[in-house]
Amino acid sequence: MDHAYRGSIVAAIAAGLLVLPFTAYADDPAPGSSQGGKPGPAATADVKITTELPKQISVDNSTEKTDLTAKIANSGSKDSGPVTLMVVGFDGMRITGVQGCAKIPDDKLPAGSNSGYACAVDKLEAGKARTYQVTASFDLQKTGKICLPVTEGKTDKLLWQQGPVPFGTSKPTPNAPDTPLLLGTDNVPFGPDKPPAVDELPRTGPSDAAVPLGLFALTLLAIGGTGIWWTTQQKSGRP
């Protein structure tokens, strides 16, 4: 990668980190789930990284806006060292912000995704968790998915990946103030030409169209994680 290109990417990532507040250690206030998650090839017994998403979110029917809490946890016996958490949107679900994280440029997103943020975590101690407030939009006339991959530092070593897992409902509520969406359920779109479905049980579990484990981790780390860790090391004086 030439210096001019790397500099432009680092500048974009650094700007995102500077204007956003940092997240704090906390517990997810809503019930969380690791549904659709799987350890990556680099996972070890002493560092057990997982992520969680809420089991249910609510989308405003007029604005199609929603928010949720993404959690990263270490249930291993030693600290994780530097890791990168990414929050990526697919189809009708677009990630519009992640507290304390840097936006991945649109032209550098992996194929199939529409938005994403990269979060640099200096280390996650054993038994600790960190939460990130996520804002998003959800086009209720489409299906929507979210994915949380975690890699080791600035490398392409995948520790964990949750998703892409869908949020959705089989019983749309177009006349209500909002629509509740369940994790692991494919959304039934509604609109002028798509009347709400009736008497259909929610389908749960990983989507059939799920991206294979680690398919886009390399891409994200190349443009997001590397820039974040490179910037962090430069500021701290590390070589």
List, for residues 73-82, the tens digit of each pLDDT value.
999 999 999 9
**How many other CB atoms sit within 10 Å of the CB of residue 130?**
19
| Whether pLDDT at 10 is above 60 | no
Report the greatest alpha carbon distance in the chain.
61
For residue 17, give Cα distances in angstroms to 13, 21, 34, 92, 237: 6, 8, 27, 26, 18
**Considering the chain, what is the average pLDDT of its residues?**
76
- Residues 100 and 22 sit within 8 Å (Cβ to Cβ): yes
- Residues 20 and 99 sit within 8 Å (Cβ to Cβ): yes
Class of residue 53 by CB neighbours under 10 A (exposed 0-12, middle 13-18, buried 19+): buried
Structure tokens that stand for 155 in this block: 């490398």
How would you write 192-222 as a 3-class SS string? CCECCCCCCCCCCCCCCCCCCCCCCHHHHHH
Domain with 200, as residue range(s), is 3-236
CA separation for the pair 192, 161 (Å, rounded): 36
Grouping H, G, I as helix, E, B as strand and the rest as coil, residue 1 is coil
DSSP tag of 154: T
Structure tokens that stand for 238 in this block: 């590390």
User: pLDDT tens-digit profile of 33-60?
Assistant: 999 999 999 999 899 999 999 999 999 9
SS3 content of the chain, % helix, strand, coil (to 5): 15, 40, 45
| Whether pLDDT at 107 is above 80 | yes
pTM exceeds 0.85: no
> In this structure, what CATH number is given to the domain that contains residue 129?
2.60.40.10
Number of domains into which the chain is organized = 1
Calculate the CA 166 to chain-centre distance. 12
* Higher per-residue pLDDT: 216 or 153: 153
Min mean pLDDT across 5-9, 26-30, 48-52, 205-209 is at 5-9
* pLDDT (mean) for 193-219: 43
**How many other CB atoms sit within 10 Å of the CB of residue 218?**
14
| Whether pLDDT at 232 is above 70 | no
* Higher per-residue pLDDT: 155 or 127: 127
User: pLDDT tens-digit profile of 57-70?
Assistant: 999 999 999 999 99
> What integer pLDDT is reported at residue 191 of this predicted model?
63
CA separation for the pair 76, 55 (Å, rounded): 24
* Higher per-residue pLDDT: 5 or 85: 85
| Whether pLDDT at 216 is above 90 | no
